[in-house]
Amino acid sequence: MISVVQNVAIDCADAYGLARFWSEVTGCPLHPQDRPGDRETQVLLPEGPLLHFNQVPEPKVSKNRIHLCLRPTTSREEEIERLLNLGATFVADRRKPGGAGWAVLADPEGNEFCVLRSESDRAAMSS
């Protein structure tokens, strides 16, 4: 017997608002029954687990112990700019000379996530 990961749960103050942000990030839709003010919402990813947003009363107070890592379809730098325009904030620069590494951003509620190099970025480094 095994267990299958159903969803990645993200506690937040505004479930619908944060789900909308992540819907824009991923280009994936919200669950069709989700509405503003809902205490639980979901972003429907095409493969793998759902992103499940659960409204809780307490605020985030420290670094995430688990986080999402994003591999963009455009360049890492273009994706960082797009995410900042969506409302993310820049937290830490882990990029290295020559292009390796990643950038740490936070969503509008302060949950950290990483932006990795795209496949085209990786290919350009290996040639």
Q: Are residues 51 and 73 in the same domain?
A: no
The 10s digit of each residue's pLDDT in 48-87 is 899 999 999 998 888 888 999 999 999 999 999 999 999 9
* Same domain? 99 vs 53: no
For strand 68-70 and strand 50-55, is the pairing parallel, antiparallel, or unpaired?
unpaired
One domain, residues 27 and 79: no
Residues 70 and 19 both lie in one domain: no
Q: How far is the C-alpha of 33 from the C-alpha of 122, rounded, in Å?
A: 39
Give per-residue pLDDT as tens, 18-41: 999 999 999 999 999 999 999 999
- The three-state secondary structure class of 28 is coil
- Look up the domain containing 11 and give its range: 1-57
Of 69, 42, 70, 68, which Cα lies nearest the Cα of 55? 42
Q: Do 9 and 28 fall within a single domain?
A: yes
Please give the C-alpha separations between residue 70 and each of 25, 28, 37, 57, 114, in angstroms, as whole numbers. 9, 14, 27, 28, 6
8: CATH: 3.10.180.10
Residue 127 confidence (pLDDT)? 63
Number of domains in the chain: 2
Q: Check whether residue 47 and residue 70 sit in a common domain.
A: no
